[in-house]
A = this chain, B = another copy of it.
Amino acid sequence: MLRFEIQATCAETGARAGLLHTPHGTIETPVFMPVGTQATVKGLMPRDLIDPIDARIILSNTYHLFLRPGHELIREMGGLHKFMAWPRAILTDSGGFQVFSLSELRKVTDEGVMFHSHLDGSRHMFTPESTVDVQLAFGSDIMMVLDECLAYPATHDATRKSMDRTIRWARQAFTHYRQQEQDKCSLFPIVQGSMFPDLRRACAEELLELNAEGYAIGGLSVGEPRDLSQQMVEITAPLLPFDKPRYVMGVGMPDELPEYVARGIDMMDCVIPSRDARNGRLYTSTGNLSIKQARFRNDAAPVDEKCGCYTCKTFTRAYLRHLYQAGEILYSVLATLHNVTRYLDIMRQMRESILLGVFPTFLAAARKASLKDE
């Protein structure tokens, strides 16, 4: 059960600021959801995500948790919130995307998708109904329907066939979901259609009939140019209900966040801040830096002087570079803490600018700065 409240809209762009009330607290939108793949945002304690990062919602992956530790165990342990000691909202994907990206052996039929675990080769089946059941076991605040995610590029014909299947699966998922006696978990359908505007439109129209509490745009960040992803969102977002949250899945780089917000998006998620952190790529208010570079060897400055995170308030670039070079766990912890803070700071700044009616200025400045290396 969600309640979405729009607080302000931008007069010149599609940007909006709102409040999304969930059974596990209120989320200020636009929001970026840190990814907690295996029931943990890699390296971060829940308390660090809460104070001072103030993350209100995280995303976790159904595929991974289904395989390990298993949804029945998580149900037995009181649900995902309790299991991972995360008191705030959780969105889980359907597992579809990971089946397509991680599982070598898979077979898609009208019934669902059969796949072999990337961990031990064991065989499993995801159906529109089963993935709802798995997510209900987690007790997710927001669940996603099973969809088929095509690689880029795909032909118009293949995309239409796949999209039709995604729509059928969404209907089945909603039928099953509405038969459950629960009012805590919401379900979002996912608009597919690859890079074809007509199919995106057709898919959105069909899914609107489900009268869902929110809608996602999927099938992006699958290898296409950034312009194309943004174009697809620009076409699709206005077709979705104005008064419901819109979620673009799996994006993006820091300089893409304002582009999606400008196109009317309220929710995003991506592994970039945490994965790049571990690989030495740090995002700052003045650009990006690769901490492994020799020039940071004796750099006594923090990663980002304007950042208020523990990492920036406490440590130098020189120390972080040392930890990185030495392969220390603490490097990953501190770097992730910073990058996630940076992402959420960008979101907060955008939200603030929308509320103040100056988002176009923010957007122009963000575009001018673009994504440069320090």
- Asked if residues A43 and B329 are in contact (CB atoms below 8 Å), the reply is yes
Q: How far is the CA of A262 from the CA of B44 in the complex (A)?
A: 40
Chain A interface size band reads 35 or more
Contact at A330–B47, with CB atoms within 8 Å?
A: no
Contacts of A242 in B (CB 8 A): none
Whether the pair A334, B45 counts as a contact (CB closer than 8 A) is yes
Contact A330 B77 (CB under 8 A): no
Q: Is the CB of B83 within 8 A of A318?
A: yes
Q: Chain B's nearest CB lies how many Å from the CB of A73?
A: 6
- Segment with Cβ contacts to B, from A142-150, A250-258, A320-328: A320-328
> How far does the alpha carbon of A38 sit from the alpha carbon of B334 in the complex, in Å?
15
- In the assembled complex, the CB of A150 is this many whole angstroms from the nearest CB of chain B, namely 29
Q: State how many angstroms separate the Cβ of A365 from the closest Cβ of chain B.
A: 33
A179 in contact (CB, < 8 A): no
Q: Closest CB-CB distance, A299 to chain B, in whole Å?
A: 9
Q: How far apart sit A39 and B334, CA to CA, in the bound complex (Å)?
A: 14
Contacts of A323 in B (CB 8 A): 38-40
CB < 8 Å neighbour of A298 from B76, B329, B332: B76
Contact B310 A47 (CB under 8 A): yes
Answer whether residue A356 sits at the interface, using C-beta atoms and an 8 A cutoff: no
Chain B positions within 8 Å of A326 at CB level: 38, 64, 68
Q: Are A69's CB and B322's CB within 8 A?
A: yes
Residues of B within 8 A of A328 (CB): 38, 40, 42
A4 at the interface (CB under 8 A from B): no
**B334 pairs with A332, CB closer than 8 A:** no
- B residues near A84, Cβ cutoff 8 Å: 319
Q: How far is the CA of A334 from the CA of B334 in the complex (A)?
A: 15
**Contact partner of A319 among B85, B318, B319, B321, CB < 8 A?**
B85
Closest to A322 in B: B69
**Is the CB of A297 closer than 8 A to any CB of chain B?**
yes
Q: Does A315 contact B (CB under 8 A)?
A: yes
Q: Are A333 and B329 in contact (CB under 8 A)?
A: yes
The interface bits of chain A over 81-94 (1 if a CB of B lies within 8 angstroms of the residue's CB, else 0) are 00111000000000
Does A316 belong to the interface (CB within 8 Å)? Answer: yes
- Asked, given contacts A45-B333, A85-B314, whether A300 binds B69 with beta carbons under 8 Å apart, the answer is no
Q: List 12 A-B contacts (CB under 8 A).
A: A39-B322, A42-B328, A42-B330, A43-B329, A45-B310, A45-B314, A64-B326, A69-B318, A73-B318, A77-B316, A83-B318, A85-B314
Q: Which residues of A contact B (CB under 8 A)?
A: 38-40, 42-47, 64, 68-69, 73, 76-78, 83-85, 297-298, 300, 310, 314-316, 318-319, 321-323, 325-326, 328-330, 332-334
Taking A38-B322, A64-B326 as known contacts, 18 extra A-B pairs with beta carbons closer than 8 A to each other, sorted by chain A number, are A38-B326, A40-B328, A42-B328, A42-B329, A42-B330, A43-B329, A45-B314, A45-B333, A45-B334, A46-B314, A47-B314, A68-B326, A69-B322, A73-B318, A76-B298, A77-B298, A77-B300, A329-B329
